[in-house]
C-alpha cells in the first residue's frame, strides 16, 4: 500500500486572513445606515451576522438602542450592502489612500 507523503493543506480561518490585511482608517465613515428607524424594526439585522469583520453591532444600553458601525475594520467586500433587506446601507469606498490593504505572501 503506498503512503501519501503530501503535506496536509491547512485551511485558513477568517482570523488567519485578517492577519494579511492592514488598515488606514479615514476620518469619517464610508458606511452609514440611511434610516436608523428601519434598523430598529429590522428582522434579524443580517448586517450584524454577514460581515466577516464584525463591523455592525446592535447595542442597547443607557444611550438607547442603535446600530454601531466600526467602519475602521471594513474589508470592503460589499456583503452588507447586499444583505440589508431594506437597502438601508449607504455604502462607498473610503477616500483614496484609506481603507484596507491586502498583503499577499
Task: Pick between residue 20 and residue 77 the one whose CB is nearest to ligand SF4.
Answer: 77
Task: Pick between residue 10 and residue 18 the one whose CB is nearest to ligand SF4.
Answer: 18
- Do the Cβ atoms of 23 and 101 come closer than 8 Å? yes
Cell of 100: 484596507
> Contacting ligand SF4 (CB under 6 A), which of 26, 29, 79, 98?
79
The residue behind cell 434598523 is: 39
Cell of 105: 505572501
> Contacting ligand SF4 (CB under 6 A), which of 78, 90, 92, 93?
78
CA dist 6 and 56 (Å) reads 41
The contact set with ligand SF4 (CB under 6 A) reads 31, 33, 38-39, 42, 45-47, 50-53, 55-56, 67, 74-80, 84, 86, 88-89
Amino acid at each position: 500500500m503506498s503512503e501519501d507523503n503530501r503535506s496536509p493543506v491547512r485551511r485558513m480561518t477568517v482570523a488567519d486572513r485578517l492577519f494579511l490585511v492592514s488598515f488606514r482608517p479615514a476620518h469619517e465613515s464610508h458606511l452609514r445606515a440611511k434610516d436608523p428607524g428601519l434598523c430598529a424594526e429590522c428582522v434579524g439585522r443580517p448586517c450584524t451576522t454577514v460581515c466577516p469583520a464584525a463591523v455592525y453591532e446592535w447595542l442597547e444600553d443607557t444611550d438607547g438602542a442603535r446600530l454601531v458601525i466600526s467602519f475602521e475594520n471594513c474589508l470592503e467586500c460589499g456583503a452588507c450592502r447586499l444583505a440589508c433587506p431594506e437597502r438601508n446601507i449607504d455604502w462607498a469606498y473610503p477616500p483614496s489612500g484609506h481603507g484596507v490593504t491586502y498583503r499577499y505572501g
